[in-house]
Amino acid sequence: MKILVVGGGGREHAICYVLKKSKHLEKLYCVPGNGGIEEIAEVPKDIQAGDFSALVELCKKEGIELVLPGPEEPLVKGIRDVLEEKGIKVFGPDRYTANLEGSKIFAKEIMVKAGVPTARFEVFEDPDKARQYIEKVGAPLVVKADGLCAGKGVFVCDTKEEAFQAVEKLMEQRIFGEAGQRVVIEEKLVGEEASYIVITDGEHFKALPTSQDHKRLLDGDQGPNTGGMGAYSPTPLITKDLRKEIEEKVISPVLKTLAKEGHPYLGFLYAGLMIVNHIPYVLEFNCRLGDPETQVILPRVENDFIELLDATLNGRLDKVDLVETDKACVCVVMASKGYPGSYEKGKKIEGLDKVKQLEDVIVFHAGTKKEGDAFYTSGGRVLGVTALDNDIPSAIKRAYQAVSLIHFDGAHYRKDIGQRYFKYLET
């Protein structure tokens, strides 16, 4: 099978990595790719992820049979609708169901219809009415832009003043453009954050290995939010009982509701949860795999990945057992100086050849470019240094051993990835 992966980050490198291992793969393509992906896939030049007509042309020219989008934006913009109209299969939700991520308001409406536990909320199109509501209910509150904001459109406000500022930024200053035309204001839930990701054919679903990421830039969960500074899998936070609760109260009702709407959900569904008194409340849905969670989840899936995709595409997922390895996995993100703000680029990366000699270590490239035989930084998150071992403590040790061999000017990484694992063991 010839497959095209759309995207160019660490998540897409991890997807390419597991596809490359499949006995059913004939040829792998990736657009726009990155330096590391270039080593395992063909990366056509001058094609962007959002240029659907160019992607159609590429698929027709090369005989590509399946397209797998990694990031949310192509999915929300309807890549599946456009390409399937041209006879090209796409693994992911259609434009309607991708609105679970593309519109916070749509997601809330589906949750209400499905009876899914979520924070109490109100929707506003008028900034004055939003301010009146904040004055009435008080803080703490969470103010969310309705549309996509590259993960930056959520403001957790501990005071009314912070909530007023969030409304002003989103609705009046329009710092995220049309995404802030409408906002959701909801109660702030306090508990433990967790992610739950499933693969689904619209009726049946299989849970992928559990994981937990580390969003803050600095050790001890300090500093600004980022796209994710590392992750580990599995997490003891999600127990067998909690899995059952999530699947019965969140995943199943949402899938049934979307199917009733005439749009069965196909692809990866990611529920961002807050666990409050053992009850899973949905903070948000994502219509794709998480990043960096993918880097610790996919190496733990033992199934042939193309066989898993094929069963999903053909409504046979209930006939498949998803098998995960007993080994644990830890990913440490190495980022550029200045990230998540403006960051430096073009720094030469040293030591990758040494890491290749380590057993059970994979370096997933995120923001890199290849020039000749050398790699240079080209993004905020540069590398996801990922290690497998018999347990989390051993995987942590192996990952940081690999990190110590890699160098580029201004490299930043957290020193405590995976430490949450020990906290949950104590509770």
339-382 pLDDT, tens digit per residue, is 999 999 999 999 999 999 999 999 999 999 999 999 999 999 99
- Which pLDDT does position 192 carry in this prediction? 87
Long-range contacts of 420-427 (CB under 8 A, 24+ apart): 420/212, 420/214, 420/232, 420/235, 420/237, 421/232, 421/235, 421/236, 421/392, 424/235, 424/236, 424/237, 425/236
Q: What is the mean pLDDT of residues 6-31?
A: 98
- Which pLDDT does position 427 carry in this prediction? 55
For the chain, give the mean pLDDT.
Answer: 95
- Which pLDDT does position 194 carry in this prediction? 86
pLDDT band, residue 225 (cuts 50/70/90)? confident
Q: DSSP state, 209?
A: P
292 vs 152 pLDDT, higher one: 292
Q: What is the mean pLDDT of residues 129-137?
A: 96
Gap between the Cα atoms of 33 and 176, Å rounded:
26
Check pLDDT > 60 for residue 231. yes
Residue 388 tokens read as: 């497998």
- Which pLDDT does position 426 carry in this prediction? 66
Q: What is the mean pLDDT of residues 183-199?
A: 94
Check pLDDT > 60 for residue 332. yes
- Which pLDDT does position 372 carry in this prediction? 93
Dump pLDDT digits (tens) for 238-276.
999 999 999 999 999 999 999 999 999 999 999 999 999
Strands 374-377 and 348-349: antiparallel
Would you say how long the chain is, in residues? 427
Gap between the Cα atoms of 136 and 141, Å rounded:
12
Whether 84 contacts 217, CB under 8 Å: no
- Which pLDDT does position 358 carry in this prediction? 96
What is the tally of helices (H) and strands (E) in the chain? 15, 22
- Which pLDDT does position 193 carry in this prediction? 86
Check pLDDT > 70 for residue 219. yes
Question: 104: Cβ–Cβ under 8 A, 6 or more apart, which residues?
Answer: 144, 145, 146, 147, 184, 284
Q: Within 13 A of 66's CA, how many CA atoms are on the CB side? A: 21
Dump pLDDT digits (tens) for 301-327.
999 999 999 999 999 999 999 999 999
Gap between the Cα atoms of 256 and 246, Å rounded:
14
Start-end of H helices in 46-103 = 52-62, 72-76, 79-85, 95-102
- Which pLDDT does position 424 carry in this prediction? 78
Dump pLDDT digits (tens) for 279-296.
999 999 999 999 999 999
The full set of domains in the chain, from first to last, is: 2-96 (3.40.50.20), 120-187 (3.30.1490.20), 192-426 (3.30.470.20)
pLDDT band, residue 149 (cuts 50/70/90)? confident
